[in-house]
Structure 1
Amino acid sequence: MIEKTILDHLSGALDPPCCMERPANAPDKFVLLEKTGESRENHICTAILAVQSCAPSLFEAAELNEQVKAAMFDAARLPGIAAVRLNSDYNFTDTAMKGYRYQAVFDVTHYE
């Protein structure tokens, strides 16, 4: 499962906790991973992964986003992953929760 592979990689590469659901008692900084889609052709899959960098300030969220991007590009070296491409990244501040965050969306090509 690509989510588990990437989550384990991000957890090892980044200091803040990385998870797939917002923790009940969320720390100041954390990273959320979500698969938003996937396509398959000839046993080659391309997953669309959204990675949110949450932090107490907009600047810290932007800094964490840069760390996430570097770690995601490094994930292309993992077995079974053929390519990691940044689709887009942007300020994704949560006005309802009053929390600063950035979101980076990646296309991850991998083998079944």
Structure 2
Amino acid sequence: MIELVVKEFLDNNLNIPVLLEKERKLTGKFVLLEKTGGTSRNQLHSATVAVQSYADSLYEAALLNQEIKDVMSNLVKIENVSGVHLNSDYNFTDTETKQYRYQAVFDINYC
């Protein structure tokens, strides 16, 4: 599962929690990872992965988002990952919980 590969990679390269599922009432800086789609053809796979950067201020969320983009560009160094492309990134503040967050969406090619 590419989500586990990305999670382990981020765990090893960030000093904050990286989660696959948001825990209730979690605050502060953390990253939430979600695979939003994918395809497969001739044993070559592609996944779209959203990485949400949470922080206590919009500025801190934006800084964390930039750090995520910088770190994710090195994911190609992992065996079986052949490409990582930033699809988009944007302010994605959670209007329900009023938590500041940014979201970066990546297209990842792997086998």
Q: TM-score range by the shorter chain?
A: over 0.9
Residue number in structure 2 paired with 1:53: 53
Aligned length: 111
Q: TM-score, length-normalised on structure 2? A: 0.97
Q: What is residue 22 of structure 2 aligned with on the other side? A: 22
Helix, strand or coil at the partner of 2:51: strand
| TM-score, scaled relative to structure 1 | 0.96
For residues 28-83 of structure 1, the C-alpha deviation after alignment (integer angstroms, 9 at most, x for no partner) is 00000000000111100000000000000000000000111111111111001000
Displaced runs of 4 or more, over 6 A: none
- Equivalent residue runs for 1:38-77 within 5 Å: 38-77=38-77
Gap regions ≥5 residues in structure 1: none
Gaps of 5+ in 2: none
* Coordinate RMSD, CA, aligned: 0.8
1:95 matches 2:95: yes
The amino acid across from 2:84 in the alignment is: V
